[in-house]
A and B are shown apart, each in its own frame.
Chain A
Amino acid sequence: MNIENLQQLTQFQIDEQPHIIVNKEICRTCDHRACVQSCPANCYTFDEETKLLSVVYETCLECGTCYIICDKGALDWSYPRGGYGVCFRLT
């Protein structure tokens, strides 16, 4: 199953303000980067060359897996402003 296709199934109201901010310095030295592998929406990527972690908050399902799994205090994570973010239609 291709995650890129999966995300297209779900509706998002994209806010220009990100609701997740990563501390790239902390992430650079993280020994597990479990966020990258465990995010159900594949929002996180780590660039091995630049050693930078980036997050695509726009397709975040707001489940909170990364928020719980990050034990380095590297995530500034909150719910999006009212009306923004994921918008389930059926589910």
Chain B
Amino acid sequence: MAKYFDVIIVGAGPAGSLAALKLARAGLNVCMVERGKYPGSKNMFGGLLHNTPVLNEMLPDFWERAPLERHVYKKVLAFMTPESAVSLTFENENFEQPPYNGHTVFRPAFDSWLAAEAVREGALLLGDCTAEDLVRKDGRVAGVTVKGREGQLRGNIVIAADGVLSFMAEKAGLRRDFKVKNMGVGIKLLLGLPEDTINERFHLVRDEGADISFVGTTANMRGGGFLYTNRESISVGMVVHLDSLKASGKAPYDVLDELLQHPQVRKLIKGAVPLEYSAHLIPEGGIKAMPRVYTDGMMVAGDAAGLCYTNGINLEGINLAMTSGVLAAETAMKALEVGDYSARTLSLYKKKLDESFIIKDMKTFKNAVGMMHAERLFQTYPRVLAGILEKLYRVEGMPRSKLLRLARKEALKEVGLKGLVSDGIKIGRALL
């Protein structure tokens, strides 16, 4: 085995594997260091692989060959109180054909497949290898040490795509300590159900999939629940901010259990067989919580670089990860061409990120981070909404109010004028 590489990539997740594919196609000597037994064995997400133009470009027939579950056709946003649900459903025929807007996938299957594509083009995949530390030479990063298979790998450039906790970025001195308020934890239960049952319950045909977001199901915590349909299983879980999890004093699986017991959810998962339980962190601090993404001899991509954003409607990460992996690979190719791996040359990566949709979107929704920390969004407003609808629909021989008056009364009762104004400003700054 050649122990010297043009590029060493830490982590064979979506960012790492797509970077490796790009570099291998350019004929470069590239190695992926993966701590799992196989790529994806340490990885978990809610379940939705978003449409990613760089992936479509590099593997144009990917949706025919990749191990995908269902394409997402139906989007549901559901505001929940313990006894009711107010949902908005969006179904779109344009999401029915390539390029699909997103697919549900299993990470062990998808990540393994993507890494194998890179290997087929000549990249080397070292499984069972946990990167432990950086190797430095002349003041720059020049490789990694690994534990599992003991040893050292040296190279011209390291791309750290080692996930949300990125110990590589930490060792390179690129990030400060994490803050609890900037981190979300996702937990998920995979539940097996027959394909026909899923299609009937969610009103789907063939490969159509549903993506349901729940607001108001995370006890007194800031966060949300999710449900995705796979071919013969459904993924149900939730994401909460760590600081509010800590403050709640609740165990995350107990809160997930409450979601599963919700009368409207219980009907959807009836008879399902639990298949797997998983958990993972999500970098939710937005652009302000990002580490520096390059230094002499190294670049940071994907979750490791904190590339993730949510505005309450979208939660995107995997598409940002893959795109950043390709941009890091392009930068590495340029650096190898000129034979200069200094921070100055690698700063091109930051420039490429800034010009891409990644940083543009993260900037556009930089105030959404503040909105997502508005406690009332997750408990009070679902209650207000459900309260209004209940009064609208309930027939009981009493004189009615007009809609606006009813809404104002419910909102003032629950939130108060000051709260409404302050939340209005937060939401306005974030989304409008």
Binding stretch for chain B, among A21-29, A46-54, A76-84: A76-84
Q: State the total of A-B contacts with C-beta under 8 angstroms.
A: 134
On whether the beta carbons of B108 and A89 are closer than 8 Å, the reply is: yes
- Can you report 6 residue pairs joining A to B where beta carbons are below 8 Å apart? A61-B279, A63-B279, A79-B167, A80-B130, A82-B147, A86-B42
B contacts with A, residue count (CB < 8 A): 55
Residues of B bordering A, CB below 8 Å:
34-37, 40-44, 106-109, 127-130, 132, 146-149, 164-165, 167, 178, 180, 183, 185, 187-190, 233, 235, 242, 245-246, 249-254, 256-257, 260, 274-281
On whether the beta carbons of A78 and B127 are closer than 8 Å, the reply is: no
B242: contacting residue among A69, A82, A87, CB under 8 A: A69
Q: What's the minimum C-beta distance from A37 to chain B, rounded to whole angstroms?
A: 6
Nearest chain A residue, comparing its CB with the CB of B254: A1
On whether the beta carbons of A91 and B147 are closer than 8 Å, the reply is: no
Q: Chain B at the A interface: mostly helix, strand, loop or mixed?
A: mixed
Asked whether any CB of chain B lies closer than 8 Å to the CB of A56, the reply is no
On whether the beta carbons of A82 and B127 are closer than 8 Å, the reply is: yes
Provide the A1-19 mask, 1 if CB < 8 A to any CB of B, else 0: 1010111011001000000
On whether the beta carbons of A90 and B130 are closer than 8 Å, the reply is: no
Q: A1-B254, A79-B167, A88-B44 are in contact. List 15 more A-B contacts (CB 8 A).
A: A6-B277, A9-B274, A65-B281, A69-B246, A83-B148, A85-B42, A87-B36, A87-B37, A88-B41, A88-B43, A90-B108, A90-B109, A90-B276, A91-B44, A91-B278
B278: contacting residue among A5, A10, A71, A84, CB under 8 A: A10
Residues of A within 8 A of B132 (CB): 78
Residues of A bordering B, CB below 8 Å:
1, 3, 5-7, 9-10, 13, 32, 34, 37-38, 40-42, 61-65, 67-69, 71, 78-91
| Cα A42 to Cα B279 with chains together (Å) | 12
Residues of A within 8 A of B242 (CB): 38, 65, 68-69
On whether the beta carbons of A82 and B279 are closer than 8 Å, the reply is: no
Given contacts A5-B274, A9-B277, A88-B44, contact A67 B165 (CB under 8 A): yes
On whether the beta carbons of B187 and A40 are closer than 8 Å, the reply is: yes
Residues of A within 8 A of B276 (CB): 9-10, 88-91
Nearest chain B residue, comparing its CB with the CB of A35: B246
Q: What's the minimum C-beta distance from A20 to chain B, rounded to whole angstroms?
A: 13
Given contacts A9-B274, A10-B278, A64-B165, contact A38 B252 (CB under 8 A): yes
Given contacts A5-B274, A68-B242, contact A63 B37 (CB under 8 A): no
Q: What's the minimum C-beta distance from A6 to chain B, rounded to whole angstroms?
A: 4
Nearest chain A residue, comparing its CB with the CB of B281: A64
| Cα A5 to Cα B109 with chains together (Å) | 24
A37: contacting residue among B148, B165, B167, B250, CB under 8 A: B250
Q: What's the minimum C-beta distance from A49 to chain B, rounded to whole angstroms?
A: 21
Residues of A within 8 A of B260 (CB): 1
Q: What's the minimum C-beta distance from B165 to chain A, rounded to whole angstroms?
A: 5
**Interface hub of A5, A6, A41, A83 (most chain B Cβ within 10 A):** A83
Nearest chain B residue, comparing its CB with the CB of A87: B41
Given contacts A10-B278, A64-B164, contact A83 B246 (CB under 8 A): no
On whether the beta carbons of A9 and B275 are closer than 8 Å, the reply is: yes
Nearest chain A residue, comparing its CB with the CB of B40: A88
On whether the beta carbons of A32 and B246 are closer than 8 Å, the reply is: yes
Residues of B within 8 A of A13 (CB): 37
B190: contacting residue among A3, A42, A85, A91, CB under 8 A: A91
